[in-house]
Amino acid sequence: MNEGKNENLNIEGAMEDYFEINENYTILLNKKMGNGSFGQIYQCLNKKTNEILACKIESINELKPQLYHESKIMFLLKNCLGFPTCYDFIITGQDKILIMDYLGPNLETIMKKLPNNDPIKKFSIKTSLMIMIQCIERLKTLHEKGIIHRDIKPENFVIGPKNKERLIYLIDFGLSKKISNDKKLPLIKVDRNIIGTMRYISMNTHKGYEQGKRDDLESLFYIIIYFIKGELPWQNIKSKTKSEKYSKIYEIKKKVTDNKELVEGLPLEMEKILEYILELDYFEKPNYLMIIKTIEMVLDKLNLSNDLQFDWYSLDFLNFLYYSFNNNNNDINNDTCEENTKKENKSQKEKVKENEKNEKINDVLKLSTINHDVKDYNAKKLKISYNKNNPKVNNSYIRNKNNQLIQERSKSLTVLKRLYSQKLAKNNNNEYKNIKLFLDTKNRKEKQNKEIFKGKENIKIKNIRIKK
């Protein structure tokens, strides 16, 4: 873990679109991904690899710090399937910064943006059960590392980046905790602050018990019911105080699980899974494999298979999803979600066309004799200015610029005009003028040679006719 001291990070006072943390990372301030209880999340550029990452920022004066604790857990889960990688942890004069993988949108966002006309957004039962299988596997890995999550909710399960959309990741370990080795049954604390999200916490958490592996599984089961039905019986409860609301939610949870109303309309196996989870002892190790096998039996019973063809796995929807995720910071307003979806569907088509144009430009750039570095071109599109005073960052960039003078080809003039139109040659006008002069001269010579060649061919044809 790198806890090097750097310059103070003052995001609110920065007027630029980026902020350089150190020689390795730059925060893209115009690419904010969201807010958390601990601070803010932004996209981040690894300047050595030109790779887009994510960074979490927490104030060094935070009363309830979570970020350093989360970084330790993420390092413990390094190289585990379905968990983000933590690349660095940096402490500045004012902030703590966690550098991690940049992943896709969360399952709550995806469900709300699905292009169906149902009044209540929900996943198909096939998608919901396939999600459950992967989520059980993530909890199994986490629990085997001796950690419980304690905040299982749809927002903490995200899909992977592009080309990994069928892999579900578990994120956000700020409230996670190592499992105690003490074999004493934890006592109920009436005045215990409830840890987790009220909609999905277990009934034992409502009572004030310390959470364990069984509680993570119970929260996951509520999430799957929410995905299948689109809502839970205890949503939208109105009350005057928080404590009154908590008690009402607990009463409804207990009622609908006791009378099996929660799993009404679902296969019998789902009822058996819920019974098994609720009967688990605090110290008992859950049989994760048995639960997964039972879910696979349900899929088989419904003539379905775990083929990873999720509801979101279509090219058009994925393009729209990632575009809206990258441009709208992954914020969801449930009341206006449908209106935003209609607007984003229109802009998504325009974005696809723009991507096709950019791909063509990149293909031409790769073939052109100007030999323009495509990575630098993409970085320029992100509005990242290179620091001229930092030779470590700029050596390759300047070298690639100088290499533009070496070779040429007939398509180079077209590419040069495009580069001019995109203002990529702003600081090198004299060099590009020389290139243009050189290309013009060469094209002129080629035309002259072609005309001479044509003249010689005409003479040959005439001689042949005369001989005949």
With CA atoms as reference, report the closest residue to 35 among 57, 11, 17, 12: 57
Helix axes 412-421, 337-367, angle to 10 degrees: 140
Q: Rounded distance, CA 105 to CA 33, Å?
A: 10
**What stretches of 45-144 show up as alpha helix (H) in DSSP?**
67-76, 107-112, 125-144
Tokens of 431: 């060099």
Q: How many helices and strands, by DSSP H and E, does the chain display?
A: 14, 10
**DSSP 3-state of 341:** helix
- From the candidates 151, 172, 216, 373, give the one annotated as an active-site residue: 151
335 catalytic, yes or no?
no
Buried b (16+ CB within 10 A) or exposed e, 346-370: eebeebeeeeeeeeebeebbeebbb
Which residues are bridge partners to 159 per DSSP? 168
H or E stretch covering 26: strand 25-35
Could you give the C-alpha distances from 69 to 43, 52, 75, in angstroms and in order?
A: 21, 24, 10
Q: Which residue has the tokens 């310059």?
A: 7
> What does the DSSP 8-state code read for residue 83?
S
Could you give the C-alpha distances from 234 to 173, 195, 334, in angstroms and in order?
A: 26, 18, 17
Label the pairing between strands 147-148 and 25-35: unpaired
With CA atoms as reference, report the closest residue to 148 among 239, 243, 220: 220
Residues near 381 by beta carbon (within 8 Å), at least 6 away in sequence: none
Tokens of 199: 């909609």
Q: Rounded distance, CA 32 to CA 344, Å?
A: 18
Positions marked catalytic: 151
